[in-house]
Amino acid sequence: MATLDRHIQALVERVTRDIILPRYRNLASGDVEDKGGGDPVTVADKESEAALREGLSTLAPGVAFVGEELVHADPATLEHLKGDCWIVDPIDGTRNFASGQPPFGILIARAEGGLAQSGWIYDCLTGRFCIAHRGAGAFVDGARVTARTSGDDMPVAAISLVYMDDAQREAVKQQICPHYSLVDIPYCAAEQYPRLALGQNDVSIFERTLAWDHAAGVLWLEEAGGKAARHDGSAYRVDEWERTGLIGAASPALWEEMAARLQSLA
């Protein structure tokens, strides 16, 4: 494990131990707020992000920081995604965390030129630590991994319908879902991306594609040999924050199959 990876691992472990887990299933009534649209944030999200920002600033002084809660407070922070920056989701899966349910994790990416160059995915409850650097492969707990499929006769799909409009949601239900063995979405990208490479799920579609949710996972899945891209096949870029729609799959063939089905809806 490279020196940077060891530092990142120590940081996320410390933040999890000192800030996140002490409040797991231990949130007071005033510790959870609604950012709007049923999107919760907890005191642990805010404190975790502050600690992660401080820790990352010591690893790379002067590099811009784009955190989910910072962007909520100041949307102009998104402009940093055009340059060299850290991208952080301090608790990915806040909905689960706030309700006292797994999974939830920490997502960190380092991006340059609109593309993630490194990504780290940490599962706060199991300690699973995923690492990817562009062109260098994907790793779980120090072991290199290669994406594998579920092996099911019908591809296993986790399809997020949450942010689709009514017409799009109905079309997907009627014309896409019958071709797959459907499983529940985990409401946590830090769990969904590993599932796509580790033989649990074969394909996922996402409508909302915010950088802190997807930058690390897209890179990790692709470095494992899977594929994650926009519906038209273009690369996922963190500096295209107004775009929606993303397909992730355990193999390029599974990606192509889903992309063709979605394009038929247009």
Residue 34, annotated ligand binder? no
In the block, which residue shows the tokens 């594998």? 148
Residue 31, annotated ligand binder? no
Cα angle 125-128-133, degrees, rounded to a multiple of 5: 140
Residue 184, annotated ligand binder? no
Nearest to 223 by CA among 83, 122, 120: 120
The answer to whether 118 touches 84, Cβ cutoff 8 Å, is no
The answer to whether 69 touches 45, Cβ cutoff 8 Å, is yes
Alpha-carbon torsion angle 256, 259, 261, 266, nearest 10: -150
What is d(CA 130, CA 124) in angstroms, rounded to the nearest whole number? 12
The answer to whether 131 touches 197, Cβ cutoff 8 Å, is no
Coil/strand/helix, residue 37: coil
Which residue type occupies 244?
A: T
Residue 89, annotated ligand binder? yes
The answer to whether 188 touches 213, Cβ cutoff 8 Å, is no
Annotated binding site for Mg(2+): 68, 89, 91-92, 213
Annotated binding site: 68, 89, 91-92, 213
